[in-house]
Amino acid sequence: GRSHGIHAEPMSFGLKFALWWDEMRRHKVRLAQTREAVGVGKISGPVGTYASVPPEVEETVCSELGLEPAPVSNQIIQRDRHAQYVQTLALIAASLDKFATEIRALQRTEVREVEEPFGTPGFVTTGSSAMPHKRNPEICERICGLARLVRGHTITALDNVPLWHERDISHSSAERMILPDSSLAVDYILERFTEVVKGMRVYPERMMVNLELTRGLPFSPRVMLALVESGMQRTDAYKKVQGLAMRTWDEGLDFRQLLRNDSEVTDAIGQEHLESLFDYTHFLRYVGHTYKRLGFNVPAKAS
Q: What is the pLDDT of residues 120-163, one digit of tens each?
A: 766 666 777 788 888 899 999 999 999 999 999 999 999 999 99
* Phi-psi group of 216: left, alpha or beta (phi > 0 → left; psi -120 to 50 → alpha; rest → beta): left
| Average pLDDT of every residue of the chain | 93
Average pLDDT over residues 89-96: 98
Task: Classify residue 3 by its DSSP letter.
Answer: E
Tell me which of 63, 128, 170, 172 is the catalytic residue.
128
Dump pLDDT digits (tens) for 42-77: 999 999 999 999 999 999 999 999 999 999 999 999
The two counts, helices (H) then strands (E), for the chain are: 12, 6
Instruction: List the domain range (segments joined by +) for residue 55.
Output: 43-76
Residue 124: predicted pLDDT: 65
CA distance 113 to 105: 9
d(CA 75, CA 293): 47
CATH number of residue 200's parent domain: 1.20.200.10
| Cα 124 to Cα 212: distance, rounded to the nearest angstrom | 32
Q: pLDDT value at position 300?
A: 55
Q: Mark whether 68 and 135 lie in a shared domain.
A: no
Q: Where does the chain show beta strands of DSSP type E? A: 2-3, 6-7, 40-41, 68-69, 114-115, 201-202
Q: What is the pLDDT of residue 299?
A: 65
| Judgement on whether residues 196 and 109 belong to the same structural domain of the protein | yes
Confidence at residue 303, expressed as pLDDT on a 0 to 100 scale: 42
In a domain, 2, yes or no: no
What sign for the dihedral angle of Cα 42, 44, 45, 47? Answer: negative
Answer whether residue 208 shows pLDDT above 80.
Answer: yes
Q: Distance between CA 22 and CA 28 in Å, rounded?
A: 10
Of 78, 144, 71, the closest CA to residue 105 belongs to: 144
Is residue 4 part of the annotated active site? The answer reads yes
According to DSSP, the β-strands at 201-202 and 114-115 are antiparallel
Q: What is the DSSP string of 62-113?
A: HHHHT-EEPSS-SSS--THHHHHHHHHHHHHHHHHHHHHHHHHHHHSTTT-S
Neighbours of 196 (CB within 10 A): 23
Q: What is the pLDDT of residue 287?
A: 92
Domain count, the chain: 3
Write down the pLDDT at residue 298: 75
Confidence check: pLDDT of 264 > 70: yes
Whether pLDDT at 237 is above 50: yes
Stretch 196-216: mean pLDDT:
94
Distance between CA atoms of 301 and 281, rounded to whole angstroms? Answer: 12
Query: Would you say residue 91 lies in a domain?
Result: yes
296 in any annotated domain: no
Q: Determine the Cα–Cα distance for residues 191 and 264; give it in Å rounded to an integer.
A: 57
Structure confidence at residue 267 (pLDDT): 93
pLDDT of residue 19: 96
Do 93 and 186 contact (CB within 8 A), yes or no? yes
What distance in Å separates the CA atoms of residue 181 and residue 173, rounded to the nearest whole number? 13
Instruction: Identify whether 276 is a catalytic site residue.
Output: no
SS3 245: helix
Q: State residue 270's pLDDT score.
A: 94
Q: Is 5 exposed, middle or buried (0-12, 13-18, 19+ CB in 10 A)?
A: exposed
Marked catalytic residue, from 4, 129, 133, 173: 4
Residue 94: which pLDDT band, with cuts at 50, 70 and 90?
A: very high
Q: Are residues 19 and 136 in the same domain?
A: yes
Domain match, 132 and 204 both: yes
Same domain, 131 and 222: no
CATH code of 249's domain: 1.10.40.30
User: What is the band of 232 on the pLDDT scale with cuts at 50, 70, 90?
Assistant: very high
**32 shares a domain with 147:** yes
**Averaged over 228-252, what is the pLDDT?**
95
Question: In the chain, pLDDT over 70 holds for what percent of residues?
Answer: 96
Residue ending a domain, among 188, 209, 230, is: 209
Mean pLDDT (whole number) for 221-225: 95
Please report whether residue 6 resides in a domain: no
Same domain for 17 and 117? yes
The pLDDT value given to residue 134: 83
Q: Do 30 and 178 sit in the same domain of this protein? A: yes
Confidence check: pLDDT of 302 > 70: no
48 with 197, same domain: the answer is: no
